[in-house]
Structure 1
Amino acid sequence: MRGKLPDISTAQADLEVRDRDAEQKGKSKIYADERRGAKYSDVDIGDTVLVKQEKTDKLTTPFNTTPHKVVGKAGSQVVVESPTGARYSRNTTWVKKYTSARETPAEEETPQGAEDSTPNDETPVAQAPEQSITNSEIPATQRPQRVKRLPQKLTDFVIK
């Protein structure tokens, strides 16, 4: 063709396409995050964490055993400080919260009403001493067993 085609304005169509694309991508992200169980990291500044270490052999633990302290956080990036003072910048997927044995309750508390029923001003009545039970006296739950008997060909022999 020798003539020029009329110029069609695409500014309006381009904006609509971008809007729809962003909306569809947002829906897809929400769906994928729900399916994968994605969640935001709960590591904050001041937390004690363990840092993932490089695997050198099959006996190496995934995380370093020395706890580090989180000194900075920006988005998914955390800055951790080791006990020696060295600072490392890692993604939150490379750290996990550290809970020491002192923070978790070792003994379960007794529920209310499970306390001793004797009043505080009375002394408890002496009870009969408990009899000691040996392991042979405790009836063990036995599994079913087959009936054991001699083969038919050995019935005419006397066996002690």
Structure 2
Amino acid sequence: MRRLHRWLANLLGSPFALRCRFPRAVLEELTAAIAAGERDHLGEVRLVLEPRLPPFAVLTGLDARTRAQALFARLGVWDTEHNTGVLIYVLLAERRIEIVADRAIARAVAQQAWDAIAARMGEAFAAHRWREGCLDGIAAVHALLARHFPAAGHDNPDELPDRPVLL
């Protein structure tokens, strides 16, 4: 039953929902939030927004977590000097949020902390507060990174693009 529900959500999920929920002005605001927060820590944050998964892929077992991990690799989020990349993945059709952290961060921050951030984002999304949910999630990720990997006294190049990825 769960697989059927997921399949239908992705089959009926509209690619246009992405642009409706995240217009250009919101994307610029999210980009600025990512860039500003990265000045305080050695981490790199990527936000990926995807309207839906291919329905056939859902039938063959693809889920949001697996997709997020694949995008983490494909986008090179793992390829930072300090192994401090974080991917925030939003699958609109299923209202799923997955946060994938690189090795150094995963050793310092428990998965429960990432799950709590994703849950808060999901609550905002359920109330149709897409912009606020993303901004709050980005801020929470930045706060964790600043606590565990502060930039003070370190060279802090911007290693990954700050603009959200729209799929």
TM-score of Structure 1 vs Structure 2, range by shorter chain: under 0.3
Instruction: Name the structure with the higher helix share.
Output: 2
Q: TM-score, normalised by structure 2?
A: 0.18
Answer with 1 or 2: which has the greater Rg: 1
Q: Which has the higher contact order (CA 8 A, sep 6+)?
A: 2
